[in-house]
Structure 1
Amino acid sequence: MASSLEDDVFEKLKTKADIDELERREKEINARVHAQYEKSQQRVAELLGANSTLPVTISSIRVLHANNTRRTFLERIFEPLLGANKDRPYTLEGALKDVSAATDKLNKFDIFKSPISVFIDRTDPADPSTTPTDINVYLSAQEKSRYTIKTGTEAGNAEGSAYASAVLRNVFGGAETLQAYGSLGTRTRSSYSASFDTPILSDPGLHFEVGGAGSSTLKPWASHEEFLRGGSARLKWTSPSGQHRHDLAYSGSWRQITGLASTASPTVRADAGDSFKASLAHTYALDRRDYPLLPSRGYYLRSTTELAGVGPLGGDVGFAKLDVESQAAAPLPAGAALTAGLRGGLLYPLAVGRWNPAAGHPEPSRLPDRFQLGGPTDVRGFRLSGLGPRDGPDAVGGDVYAAAGASLLLPFPRVGAAAPLRFQAFVNGGRLLALQPPPGGKPDGGAPLTGGDVARGVKAALRELRDGGLPSCAAGVGIVYAHPAARFEVNFSLPLVLRRGEEARKGVSFGIGASFL
């Protein structure tokens, strides 16, 4: 019977004319539905406009289908609406604005499917406990799946990996999230992490998170492998507009430099072994770009300040570290755009357990804490960690750096400015410097460093950064594709200025990431 029915259907649709006729009818029906929807929306707007000043009282708010969400969690969001009409006149327009704001707040927790439907109805006039101005608010909020499991592969920056991740949503009914992630790769041999995140007082912009992570990473540019194990607790705050973000974190991590190559330099061998870092860090970000991965207008600012080993923080590593990044974009005619970026950082060694920077004996910075510069996502035209101090074959990083870049982004012909594909012409450069110890001071085996030695070393490095001539720089052209998850670049680079010992990369390179210079 089923086979006969299928034969009849295919018989009726066997000619192109029949198929075209069906498509035409489908378009007509869709157009009619759309017109009716627009008409109904217009009618709703007219009714609301005519009744916007009517006095109302919100009698009750009910969230439907939220079977796994705690009542107390929802009450913190909607309780202000129930008390809003007790101390001031309340109109239908004001009630709708407040309900819409509360619904948007509920959406930000990412535990309900979008959109959340809102219905308003009069109370039963036969109920003696109600008044003529009472209204009931109903929200139809379909909960998302409580778990998501993903597996896949990733590639980029001369590395490939396979990963698996799992997310549990709304764990205890208050928009809590439990995440676990693990990956195996070519350079990052293994990486795993787990974290638990919960909003504070039902506020989508205020979160507390605890977590742990571990990794094993090959660092061929410095002839070693680094093991990392640690945990953190952080407080995250986001402004209502979503543009200002703060992250305050306390973390402790055990690092081990091992697996040294036979050609490892004395600097790498001196830092081999274990170290423990305990630090307090604050990150601030302001993003006003129209599209962060491929901006055409706006600006971006980010700063990260970290304090390690000072006072009661503990550990055996002490320093203050500042890392800043900025980007600005301006539109040009015909869909083109000009972007410019600037980055810089300073690592200031401190004595462990001391609050006074001038007291005690600071230790020189360690390899895992120093800045690295060069590669397809920062200073293009140079190998990964190809800029800055070197000891033999190894890039050993630096304590002070500055980098800048500018890119002209042009839409492809016949593709249009709306497509996330651009032709790029760029120029970028930077310098990375190490603090030089005084004659006879560490790490040459002489007298220990003092706070004054570090201060003089920082001043000398900043002076060299300013007056030391042209930075290492390169120019090139390439193709940029902004996928929703990451930005991809294929560039041809030509080094223009190269300092002794640094490693340039002339030719084609591939970069993938979320942040580019």
Structure 2
Amino acid sequence: MDEFEKSSIEGRVIELADSSRREVEQEANEAKAEQQRYIAELLKNSSKTPIVVSAVLTSDHQSIRPDVLQKYLDATILQASSFSQLCEQADLLNVKLIQHGMAENVSQSLDSRGILRLPVIKRHYPSLVYESQAISGELAVIDVISRLNILPIKRFTAKTGTNIGNGEGDGYLQFQLRNMFGGGEQLKLDITKGTKTHSSYLLDYGQPVTPWWMLNSMLFKNSRQFGNNNSIDMLIRGFRTSLRSGFQEAGAINHELFYEAEWRTSKLLSLHASDTLLFQAGDDIKSSLGHTLAVDRRNNPIAPTSGSFLKITNELALGKYWKSQVEFSQNNSWLKDDFIGSCCTFRSGYIANLNSSKKTVNTYDKFHNGGANDIRSFQIMGLGPKDLYDSIGGDAFISYGVSLFSRLPIKKWSHSNFRLHWFFNGGKLINHNNAPLKSVVTQLANQHSTSVGFGILLRHQVARFELNFTLPLTVHSGDAMRKGFQYGIGVSFL
């Protein structure tokens, strides 16, 4: 009895301790929530209050050149004239310093020295409402001091790993020098060895031109086999330079201007190659100019639950072809915590051969459809025209997809990054040989290859992983199907 009573007392003590701990945790959470509500209400009521950032105090900023840091401050928080603008610009400054490789992390705190009286004409401040005509030529503004804490970035990194998926596997080695001269300059060397990509070397240098524009230049060389029986080995050497914008405002239009030069050498590895690939064997030089326009209104580029995305790319290969491609997607979600979501995607492209009387467009430059990231339930490059069993690509295509997502219907995992996934995909790829546009539209409107399926996906912060069971619905002559399980990884899916 004594032992029983002792154990009972110990059990009651543990229950009381657990109950007390839960009460303390609940009180702490309620106090934290109340504090957050108070801060949110304070910021809401003071969002239009005039302010001026008179000074910025920085710590651990030695890794960034003073003139460069001043540019970023001038373009962000020093532009703010109200509390709401200051909060937005402070977040933007943090994003840009991290995005351009000048800091590992950035935090800011605000302090004030009181109220200043400044001439209204000196800066543009929110208009105030007066009850009489006695409008002062001066305006009372809050003097704000920003305290900027910068965590320096590691200048040198090296990593190695493997990638496996969709019938391919490779290993890679990456070296990276970051913020080399204190202005966000980066130099990256990538070396990859794999099954289909035998070898790939990439040397990439990038640096911010302004807080909103980034300049990249790269040299690359890779060797890859393609064809139904890996009958062609292509060696590509080239150079690419681009200037792209990175505006962060909601609905901002971003641009990329690029120049690319390639020297490609195709070698025959098998006598079973198709006539099209045999005809294109040898050396081929391409020099092209291009422009990309993107409007991204999604709330997240990797795992969006709302918003739209539009991307239009045009490329002019001098003396060869003009290539245009458009992509549009719309994301929506319903119920609490975005329990159910949808994504509708449309893609289309067109190539005009500028020298059709003398030479066809190279297979490597044409459009290719099929694969886990494109029209599912078909092999990579599995749709469209074929010569023997080799995919020769197309110069016009249309593809579309509708996906439905839902959280896992298990309470324990309902708030994880896993989602159930159902999809419908379809599309068509053709060679039009510079036919009239009306004829091209007619061909693209008929006899689509379609598929359905379901599976599970993981929304990671850097990529999306999918494992689906797929089933072709309509198939046409030459289509390479993949019925059953299909695995995909990437940031862009149909």
Q: Shorter-chain TM-score: what band?
A: 0.7 to 0.9
Q: Is the 8 A contact 1:350 1:362 kept in 2?
A: no
Alignment-derived partner of residue 462 in structure 1: 441
Deviation at 1:465, TM superposition (A): 1.8
Q: Is the 8 A contact 1:376 1:384 kept in 2?
A: yes
Change (3 A) 1:65 1:24: farther
Does 248-257 or 141-150 show the bigger shift?
141-150
Q: Does 1:239 align with 2:239?
A: no
Aligned equivalents of 2:95, 2:299: Cα separation in 1: 22
User: Any residues of structure 2 matched to 1:337-348 within 5 Å, and which?
Assistant: 337-348=341-352
Change (3 A) 1:36 1:176: farther
Deviation at 1:331, TM superposition (A): 2.5
Q: Is the 8 A contact 1:429 1:474 kept in 2?
A: yes
Change (3 A) 1:56 1:472: closer
Q: Aligned-pair RMSD on alpha carbons?
A: 3.7
Aligned equivalents of 1:330, 1:133: Cα separation in 2: 41
User: Any residues of structure 2 matched to 1:474-489 within 5 Å, and which?
Assistant: 474-489=451-466
In the alignment, residue 249 of structure 2 is paired with which amino acid? S
In the alignment, residue 443 of structure 2 is paired with which amino acid? E
Change (3 A) 1:430 1:29: same
Q: Does 1:188 align with 2:215?
A: no
Q: Which runs of 5+ in 1 are unaligned?
A: 1-14, 85-89, 124-131, 311-317, 352-359, 437-453
Aligned equivalents of 1:241, 1:228: Cα separation in 2: 38
Aligned equivalents of 1:53, 1:506: Cα separation in 2: 59
Deviation at 1:67, TM superposition (A): 0.9
Aligned equivalents of 1:414, 1:81: Cα separation in 2: 44
Change (3 A) 1:76 1:22: farther
Aligned equivalents of 1:412, 1:46: Cα separation in 2: 34
Deviation at 1:396, TM superposition (A): 0.9
Alignment-derived partner of residue 291 in structure 2: 282
Aligned equivalents of 1:230, 1:320: Cα separation in 2: 19
Alignment-derived partner of residue 209 in structure 1: 216
- Give the count of matched residue pairs: 451
360, 380, 385: which is aligned to 1:384? 380
Q: Is the 8 A contact 1:58 1:81 kept in 2?
A: no
Alignment-derived partner of residue 427 in structure 2: 430
Does 366-375 or 493-502 show the bigger shift?
493-502
Aligned equivalents of 1:116, 1:458: Cα separation in 2: 55
Alignment-derived partner of residue 374 in structure 1: 370
Deviation at 1:333, TM superposition (A): 5.0
The ranges of structure 1 where at least 4 consecutive aligned residues each deviate by more than 6 angstroms after the TM superposition are 15-57, 80-84, 132-135
TM-score normalised by structure 2 residue count: 0.79
In the alignment, residue 181 of structure 1 is paired with which amino acid? D
Q: Is the 8 A contact 2:50 2:83 kept in 1?
A: no
In the alignment, residue 426 of structure 1 is paired with which amino acid? F
Deviation at 1:23, TM superposition (A): 9.1
Aligned equivalents of 1:225, 1:501: Cα separation in 2: 23
Alignment-derived partner of residue 87 in structure 1: none
Q: Does 1:492 align with 2:469?
A: yes
Aligned equivalents of 1:210, 1:363: Cα separation in 2: 30
Aligned equivalents of 2:234, 2:396: Cα separation in 1: 22
In the alignment, residue 338 of structure 1 is paired with which amino acid? S
Q: Is the 8 A contact 1:168 1:178 kept in 2?
A: yes
Q: Which runs of 5+ in 2 are unaligned?
A: 1-9, 115-140
Aligned equivalents of 1:408, 1:433: Cα separation in 2: 29
Aligned equivalents of 1:147, 1:283: Cα separation in 2: 31
Aligned equivalents of 1:134, 1:17: Cα separation in 2: 57
In the alignment, residue 73 of structure 1 is paired with which amino acid? V
Aligned equivalents of 1:76, 1:345: Cα separation in 2: 40
Residue 323 of structure 1 aligns to a residue whose secondary structure is strand
Q: Is the 8 A contact 1:81 1:99 kept in 2?
A: no
Deviation at 1:308, TM superposition (A): 0.6
TM-score normalised by structure 1 residue count: 0.76
Residue 108 of structure 1 aligns to a residue whose secondary structure is helix
Q: Deviations over 1:118-177 (max 9, x none)?
A: 353649xxxxxxxx9977543222222223222111112211111122332221111222
Change (3 A) 1:96 1:223: same
Aligned equivalents of 1:43, 1:493: Cα separation in 2: 51
406, 417, 420: which is aligned to 1:420? 417
Aligned equivalents of 1:97, 1:298: Cα separation in 2: 23
Aligned equivalents of 1:294, 1:253: Cα separation in 2: 34
Q: Which structure has more strand as a fraction of its residues?
A: 2
Change (3 A) 1:251 1:19: farther
Deviation at 1:266, TM superposition (A): 0.8
Q: Is the 8 A contact 2:407 2:420 kept in 1?
A: yes
In the alignment, residue 432 of structure 1 is paired with which amino acid? L
Aligned equivalents of 1:220, 1:82: Cα separation in 2: 54
Does 32-41 or 296-305 show the bigger shift?
32-41
Aligned equivalents of 1:112, 1:21: Cα separation in 2: 48
Residue 116 of structure 1 aligns to a residue whose secondary structure is strand
Change (3 A) 1:58 1:289: closer
In the alignment, residue 433 of structure 1 is paired with which amino acid? I
